[in-house]
């Protein structure tokens, strides 16, 4: 991926370093305590990490898609034993959501 978007929980120096080593951008907001420590250290604290608010808003779309999938109990609990059956359930859920959204269109 070009960029990884995550919550403030993933705003650690180690995660940012691993992403940087792999050439992946991080769109993760800085935690308040990290910001305070950086500011307290002054010029030795370094510059703030890059953050694109517009790209971060797109993360919400992915989270909502996963929350819709969790409405199906078999998908949420991984009830199916075989990967083929689980994938078929995921595809069936995607088709039903797609048809539902097609019906909402004028």
Per-residue confidence at 59, pLDDT binned at 50, 70, 90?
A: confident
Which structure tokens are listed for 64?
Answer: 């909502």
d(CA 104, CA 30): 39
| Average pLDDT score over the chain | 84
| 92 and 76 co-located in one domain | yes
| 19 and 65 co-located in one domain | no
Per-residue confidence at 105, pLDDT binned at 50, 70, 90?
A: low
CB-count exposure of residue 17 (10 Å: 0-12, 13-18, 19+): exposed
State yes or no: pLDDT of 102 exceeds 80.
Answer: yes
At residue 48's C-alpha, the angle toward residues 26 and 42, to 5°, is: 155
| 43 and 24 co-located in one domain | yes
| 44 and 26 co-located in one domain | yes
pLDDT attached to residue 38: 82
Q: Which domain holds residue 31?
A: 3-57
| 49 and 70 co-located in one domain | no
| 14 and 50 co-located in one domain | yes
| 48 and 22 co-located in one domain | yes
Span 12-17, average pLDDT: 88
d(CA 67, CA 75): 11
| 12 and 53 co-located in one domain | yes
Work out how many domains the chain is built from and give that number: 2
| 52 and 66 co-located in one domain | no
- The contacts of residue 5 (CB under 8 Å, 6+ apart) are 27, 28, 55, 56, 58, 59
Query: What does the radius of gyration of the chain's CA atoms come to, in whole angstroms?
Result: 19
pLDDT attached to residue 70: 82
Q: Tell me: the pLDDT tens digits for 16-50?
A: 899 999 999 888 888 888 888 888 888 887 777 77
The reported pTM is 0.56
**Chain Cα centroid distance, residue 84:** 25
């Amino acid at each position: 991926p070009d960029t990884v978007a995550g919550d403030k929980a993933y705003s650690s120096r180690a995660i940012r370093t691993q992403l940087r080593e792999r050439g992946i951008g991080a769109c993760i907001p800085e935690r308040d305590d990290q910001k305070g420590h950086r500011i307290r250290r002054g010029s030795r604290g370094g510059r703030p990490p890059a953050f694109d608010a517009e790209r971060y808003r797109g993360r919400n779309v992915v989270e909502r898609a996963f929350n819709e999938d969790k409405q199906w109990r078999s998908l949420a609990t991984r009830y199916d034993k075989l990967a083929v059956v689980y994938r078929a359930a995921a595809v069936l859920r995607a088709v039903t959501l797609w048809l539902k959204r097609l019906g909402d269109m004028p």
